[in-house]
Amino acid sequence: MRSLTLVFLAVVGMAGCGGERDLAMASKGEHAMNDGIQKSDAEWREELTAEEYHVLREKGTERAFTGAYHDEKTPGVYKCAGCGEPLFSSEAKFDSGTGWPSYYQPVSDEAVMTETDTSYGMRRTEVMCRKCGGHLGHVFEDGPKPTGLRYCINSVSLDLAPKGES
Ligand SMILES: [Zn+2]
């Protein structure tokens, strides 16, 4: 009779542990900071090529005229190489002569975010993908109409999805 009671207590105890574990997991999910992508440095290193990692995560700059898209004219959407978010349309692309793909506007104001960058003794405005925080390039105020802006972006940070393909 005494051993039966012990078995009963043991079963109740196990069920209790299971319930607590579920609660702990549920509250853990609420710590996500925003709806953006949060990945560890190790995860980015694994997913990106060495060049992509250097530009997107270490704010590097590809050498002028060496990127895939500075002279690209195929209609389509340029997506973030880090997370696939649509960032720039070929319709806003223009030939700036700088050796980097240049656009007078992003697909939407929500697609990118900007921050003042004072590195290398210059005062520039850095452009980042809002979704994953990846470094894209810089924006200058010497662009063409209608915005007067020039988004000077690294080809490495972009993946062109030609029109008609997804
Ligand atoms: Zn991104």
Q: E strand or H helix at 125, and its extent?
A: strand 124-129
**Of the ranges 28-37, 88-97, 107-116, 131-140, which one carries the lowest mean pLDDT score?**
28-37
Ligand 1 centroid to residue 43 C-alpha, Å? 14
Ligand 1 centroid to residue 57 C-alpha, Å? 11
Q: Which amino acid is at 121?
A: G
- Look at residue 162 in the predicted model and tell me its pLDDT: 97
Ligand 1 centroid to residue 111 C-alpha, Å? 9
Q: Please choose, from the candidates 28, 56, 29, the residue with its C-alpha nearest in 3D space to the C-alpha of residue 41.
A: 56
Q: What is the mean pLDDT of residues 19-40?
A: 52
Ligand 1 centroid to residue 4 C-alpha, Å? 59
DSSP-derived letter for residue 108 is -
- Look at residue 26 in the predicted model and tell me its pLDDT: 39
pLDDT, tens digit, 9 for 90 and up, residues 30-75: 333 446 889 999 999 999 999 999 999 999 999 999 999 999 999 9
- Look at residue 33 in the predicted model and tell me its pLDDT: 42
Q: Determine the length of the chain.
A: 166
Residue 7: half-sphere exposure toward Cβ, Cα within 13 Å: 4
* Whether this model's pTM surpasses 0.85: no
- Between the alpha carbon of residue 157 and those of residues 20, 30, 32, 99, 147, the distances in Å are 44, 30, 25, 15, 22
Ligand 1 centroid to residue 5 C-alpha, Å? 58
Evaluated on CA atoms 155, 57, 61, 47, the torsion sign reads negative
Ligand 1 centroid to residue 71 C-alpha, Å? 22
Q: ∠ CA(144), CA(146), CA(150), 5° rounding?
A: 40
Q: What is the mean pLDDT of residues 14-40?
A: 51
Residue bearing the bigger pLDDT, 164 or 108: 108
Q: Any idea which residues carry the catalytic annotation? A: 152
Q: What is the mean pLDDT of residues 93-108?
A: 98
The tokens for 109 are 């104001």
